[in-house]
Amino acid sequence: MSNLQDPRVLLALERTALAWNRSGLALIAFGFVIEKSNVLLQLLHPEQYQHKIIYGQWLGIAVIVFGLLVNFASILQYRRGLRSLTEQEFIEDYQTQHPVWLNLFTILTGFLLIISFWIY
């Protein structure tokens, strides 16, 4: 509970949620790069790098899943922070659910990305 009674607290909470969204998105992108870097190894020497290819695929998926968990945790923290604010800290007619929708969209696209790895 903040007790500051200042609308800037809401905006700081929203900025924090969006920063966590960017972190989760960066992890998802990094996982994609790890997973797709195996295509190059597969083209060069598939027999020689067979174990590394499988390891890289699962490592990429694990990093993507970690990014999804970061986005999900961002939603939970943002909602918890919103519940702690007083009425004076909210801006009149301000939509507070946009960071939640953005995180949900990122989670959905991350799941679709993982599914696309198995569709050739």
Determine what percent of the chain is predicted with pLDDT higher than 70: 96
Within a 10 A sphere around the Cβ of 3, how many other Cβ atoms? 11
Q: Kindly report, residue by residue over 43-81, the tens digit of the pLDDT.
A: 777 777 777 777 888 899 999 999 999 999 999 999 999
Q: What pTM did the predictor assign?
A: 0.85
| Beta carbons of 53 and 41 less than 8 angstroms apart | yes
Which two three-digit tokens encode residue 19?
């920063």
- Determine which helix (DSSP H) or strand (DSSP E) holds 114, and give its type and residue range: helix 98-116
* Number of C-beta neighbours around residue 70 at 10 A: 21
For the chain, the domains span 8-116
pLDDT at residue 54, as a whole number: 75
